[in-house]
Structure 1
């Protein structure tokens, strides 16, 4: 469980008012003292995150958030952090400490609008005289039957775990390569190992794609761009699919056999983590960029920029060659992402391997709601190099 990347874990958020028992609930779920518990309102300031194994689900990340009714001097800042945590949330636990839960109902409605399952929790049930009456009242307010729990006694914790597992459901997990390959297919992974590549290891999208191909029963063959021709000659037949880094798209496309499908790790993750259809539509905005335009490049991870950095060097170079040397490009990384995107003519997001899908979709949704085109590194580079029509992704199966 501890080796499962955070982006691949189910993100469960605990939300409620100050002193509603959220931190005590996290401790009870983790079965250890993870969050600081106090009767003082506003004890939880920044979100407290705990990775754990959740029965019926597997690896999960549980986040305890600051109260959404915090009216202290720093309350607005704490609420902003709670809102950010909500954007990453796959399942929301809404904690009510009594029958008066109008504010909790508002938050539950917001989650449902985004398609996030809501599990209602009647906390501190050991302190409530009329538990059935309180349960009925919460059910009316939130529109869902709450689970009555006591973090102090442990009552209801097992039922809460089961309720979350039921809310998640047993739907088939999304896959990276989708319908592009099946068991027995040969897949060629072309991976540049330049100064931007981490020494001694592969980047996360490469590792996850390789593992999925092995799980599917595919035959994965790996090489660098300068060894691609030798690799192809060693194969008895062209590979079914060629996957490369977006930065090597042009060179790899020129060497890819006509009978092989072509894509990139970033394009695959555009569908795995985001809205691939919206990203393809957004790439059309590239043709309208000029010297007066402004573009936002968003990286999910934070790192020291390398000399050949794709988001800060290579992609800006391609954009300016297309739109003009005076094109304004802003870059944000990690959790930084503007609330107001309207100053931008285009948002280009990375593959999002460090984010869960809900987090990427929240950003995509913000751009769409503000009428700002949004695309992805791989899709943008394919468009800029003139090969977008050839590039495939799950759902865009191209018959050969």
Structure 2
């Protein structure tokens, strides 16, 4: 499975937060090595959260999130702040970007929200090129300059060392035990990708294998024969939603039946 195939639920979400014009977007562009976010000296340039998928070693596939300033005001500004707070609910790592050596009351308020949610975090002091000398980094505080490319690589390393509170996510394995048999009905027709299986089918097979369960893959036309030939009754049948009505006529009423779409929706 490639990086592009990695579903959002499996990526580590890293959010960049802070006041307006603290340099969040400039820093995100440096981290991603792309012009992901619009950068301007005008406060409030970032008006909506911006997401970018990438790979950041040693964490692997991640989603980088650039957020509007936490100190925005006015009717629209309040909405932006609400969206920023909402992003904290999906973040596994939070980066608080500040242009101050000492956090302001608003930044302390934001940091307390991050701590209350038990999110691993770093405080990143930006624009340190304006100082005569740059202080030494602390355990969870790093001093950088996006303008002069100071401390960017050190920041990436520090982010990689954080231990995100990532909950273990199951696609199907929480429904089965080791040794259980699950039948996966995967129709092959003109709409199916040639030479490969679609992502939900891949996820189901891999999750069952990780559980040491047995995944039997068949088509609608061979489903009855598959059921008849089994010595032990399967614990579940999973089918493509387009074939659900046909499969439902074949599967015994006492055998649990669901679809890849339903599993994907809860995932």
Stretch of structure 1 that moved more, 31-40 or 13-22: 31-40
C-alpha distance in structure 2 between counterparts of 1:265 and 1:120, whole Å = 44
Candidates 122, 128, 132, aligned match of 2:131: 128
The question of 1:105 aligning with 2:108 is answered yes
In structure 1, the partner of 2:192 is 200
C-alpha distance in structure 2 between counterparts of 1:266 and 1:30, whole Å = 33
Candidates 62, 65, 79, aligned match of 2:64: 62
C-alpha distance in structure 1 between counterparts of 2:233 and 2:109, whole Å = 56
Contact 2:176 2:213 in 1 (8 A): no
Stretch of structure 1 that moved more, 85-94 or 160-169: 160-169
CA displacement at 1:243 relative to structure 2: 4.1
Equivalent residue runs for 1:331-342 within 5 Å: none
Candidates 203, 207, 212, aligned match of 1:212: 207
C-alpha distance in structure 2 between counterparts of 1:2 and 1:54, whole Å = 14
Coordinate RMSD, CA, aligned: 3.6
Contact 1:229 1:255 in 2 (8 A): no
TM-score, length-normalised on structure 2?
0.77
In structure 1, the partner of 2:253 is 254
CA displacement at 1:155 relative to structure 2: 2.3
Candidates 175, 180, 203, aligned match of 2:176: 180
In structure 1, the partner of 2:88 is 86
Equivalent residue runs for 1:310-389 within 5 Å: 351-353=265-267
SS of 1:81's equivalent in the other structure is helix
CA displacement at 1:167 relative to structure 2: 2.0
Equivalent residue pairs, number: 253
Equivalent residue runs for 1:2-151 within 5 Å: 2-71=4-73, 74-98=76-100, 99-129=102-132, 131-132=134-135, 145-151=140-146
Alpha-carbon spacing, 1:243–1:149, altered in 2? closer, same or farther (3 Å)? farther
Contact 1:206 1:265 in 2 (8 A): no
CA displacement at 1:14 relative to structure 2: 0.5
SS of 1:89's equivalent in the other structure is coil
TM-score, length-normalised on structure 1?
0.54
- Gap runs ≥5 in structure 1: 137-143, 257-261, 270-349, 354-400
C-alpha distance in structure 2 between counterparts of 1:129 and 1:253, whole Å = 76
CA displacement at 1:58 relative to structure 2: 0.6
C-alpha distance in structure 2 between counterparts of 1:65 and 1:171, whole Å = 21
Alpha-carbon spacing, 1:58–1:263, altered in 2? closer, same or farther (3 Å)? farther
C-alpha distance in structure 2 between counterparts of 1:352 and 1:106, whole Å = 33
